Structure 1
Amino acid sequence: MTSIGPVGSNISSLHAQVLKRADTALSKEPDNGFSDRIGDALKSVADTQKNAAELTKAYEMGTENDLTKVMVNQQVSSLGFQMTLNVRNKVLSAYKDIMNMPV
């Protein structure tokens, strides 16, 4: 790949990084499956909620001064919970549809 000045060299270095990350991701052993991914996602949402609660408490105690940071973390936590709830509802709906299928 020919580079055109500093922009071209920057793009080629980014391209090399992407290829390296892809090789690393593809060479990893496969995970145990769907239940592990769901468990990891639930842990991530729980950690986000815990972090938002800690930041809110720190703001109320006066140790955190950045209100924007607190509000953004609360919104991220709320969105994560809503997404988890929607996924749960879709899974339950799919389960009910499967159970109601005639055999």
Structure 2
Amino acid sequence: MEPISTQNLLLNRMNQMELMAENGAIAPANNSGIQQDFMQVVRDVNAQQNLASEMMQAVDTGASQDVVGAMVTSQKANLSFNMLMEVRNKVLSGFDDVMRMTL
């Protein structure tokens, strides 16, 4: 394929996409879903952190004898937080990759 014909094909395809967008065939993305999902995950991780903190404080003050339960809850909260950070890092890495793409 020659460069001129490739450019013409790309230009035709771009014009077709522009017409589709003008006719409403392409709807804008709804970003509220992922944002709400991510905020819910952050709230859940925060709730786990708070529960672990309360359980550890109860053990420290002598109000509870459930040391094993407090340690398990603390480890679950730590694991959830680490997972959240890994997901955040992957999303940011993907965003950086998209931003570095050449057009």
Q: TM-score, normalised by structure 2?
A: 0.68
How far is the alpha carbon of 1:71 from its aligned partner?
A: 0.5
Residue aligned with 1:99, SS = helix
Q: Which letter does structure 1 place at the counterpart of 2:40?
A: D
**1:58 corresponding residue in structure 2:** 58
How far is the alpha carbon of 1:66 from its aligned partner?
A: 1.0
C-alpha distance in 1 between matches for 2:33 and 2:80: 21
C-alpha distance in 1 between matches for 2:75 and 2:51: 12
C-alpha distance in 2 between matches for 1:98 and 1:48: 33
Q: TM-score, normalised by structure 1?
A: 0.68
Q: State the Cα RMSD in Å.
A: 0.7
Deviations 1:53-87 (A, max 9, x none): 00000000001101110000000000010001000
**1:86 corresponding residue in structure 2:** 86
C-alpha distance in 2 between matches for 1:45 and 1:60: 22
Runs of 4+ that moved beyond 6 A: none
Residue aligned with 1:102, SS = coil
Residue aligned with 2:102, SS = coil
Identical residues among aligned pairs (%): 33
List runs of 5+ in structure 1 lacking aligned partners.
1-31
- Where in structure 2 are the equivalents of 1:1-103 lying within 5 Å? 32-103=32-103
C-alpha distance in 1 between matches for 2:88 and 2:33: 17
Structure whose CA Rg is larger: 2
Aligned length: 72
C-alpha distance in 1 between matches for 2:93 and 2:43: 23
Deviations 1:21-69 (A, max 9, x none): xxxxxxxxxxx51100000000000000000000000000001101110
List runs of 5+ in structure 2 lacking aligned partners.
1-31
C-alpha distance in 2 between matches for 1:33 and 1:92: 18
